[in-house]
A and B are shown apart, each in its own frame.
Chain A
């Protein structure tokens, strides 16, 4: 069995330690394991699939460059999510400084292989989300038969969606989210409480 195929079966801690030892094959396995979760998180903040993919690439390359600084290999996943959350927020801020609206749907050309899905959401969401066209979170969930969830998340601010994804989907604790987003823990709790209340209210409306 080749070294690379053996590494496909290794646990996360082993892969992180081997990658810190300079094993590129181990880090490639880590890329494959985490890219989807990172895309989900970036997509919750950004509304452009290309931007979200860029953020995921930057996140993983940054992680590779700084991997030797990671003290606790068991913290690798939350460390990655932190980098990704910060990068996503930076993109939104940069867009705001440039005076462009990172959320404006007209700025987003359809992506090859994704455009059809995005279009399907845009036409299939019944107008529930006026800004839905080009929203990668839509693109990401469109084939997931998770449209209900997507529509429940409509109306949440990007900052609330980001907190919500980190907590409810990625399972981070309040302190980890606070650290990832550079926020007081109380603000994280507040955003999550509002997000939860919003989703429950939408669920009630649809009953």
Chain B
């Protein structure tokens, strides 16, 4: 103990010195706190700007213009006399729609005018009629009013009207714009919820393009990734943390795992191409191969976070179990693993979130293909959400702009859902000791 009265400084002097420094200490405290708040504010602002930008651009994609037409299922125009699979495949639904359009706007007479007229509705509209007729065969020869999806140019024009009175014309002629305005005025053109976006695969026609194929592709890919990387990663972490002796070899392995985490993802893509597709001859563009490649990529993340979770389990629990005569495996599986599980799951879900957003390695194994059909399994050709975003962002049609943003919104929602479930799981599994 230092007795102040014995040093050269008197208590008075000591107090003065402390007081002198006090102001600057408080100032530093304030500056530090201010810096913290500023960084958080910056982060929040960035997120806010990102979200408002994406949502303002992408929300339009969730509605789609549709045109109400009175169609007559004329046997002659359709070229069929009964409704069965074969005749439905041959039937000329386009003719029926054209006739309905001509009826609605009889003023279109020249070839070019007619072409303009026909382009009011989507090229996918005949399929709508086909489906209706297939479901209700008694409609043959009858007339009914149906809502048909409008063409993307029409949709873009309609949506742009809210920004400016002129609207975005693009390829839309004055006459066509007049028709559209006429339809809108009479309530025959309405913006309706865009179910197509959630039920279809990709398409060259924006109004028929949907996110479902990519979503399912991502889902299958992630399933493969999770099913492989979680057990392998956890097993590796348990071995390294609980069993392996600490020597030069395990040090080397640890360094290499850390290195693996830093390898650019495109390299994993090339590896996957060379090994899984060229050597093992697995199908190209398949979620199976995508999942394998992403497993290689997420494995280091899962191993590192699982090891951290295992390290965080208090050694007293291990000692208690060991003191009871539990074997090493019993110690791990009865005591350590349940306590480390929340941390491991968090790591796994962070790894999965990374994998969900990964594009580069999947380009190498052919998941960049144009996929129209929704994949039904892990060997079907498919694409994934980020690749779909990349493809749409690259497409010239203006209607793809909002679809790109909408796809980003879907991707972000999936991410938020995953992270939220991670937090919930953690809360549920977490135990206190």
A and B are interacting partners: no
**A residues bordering B, Cβ < 8 Å?**
none
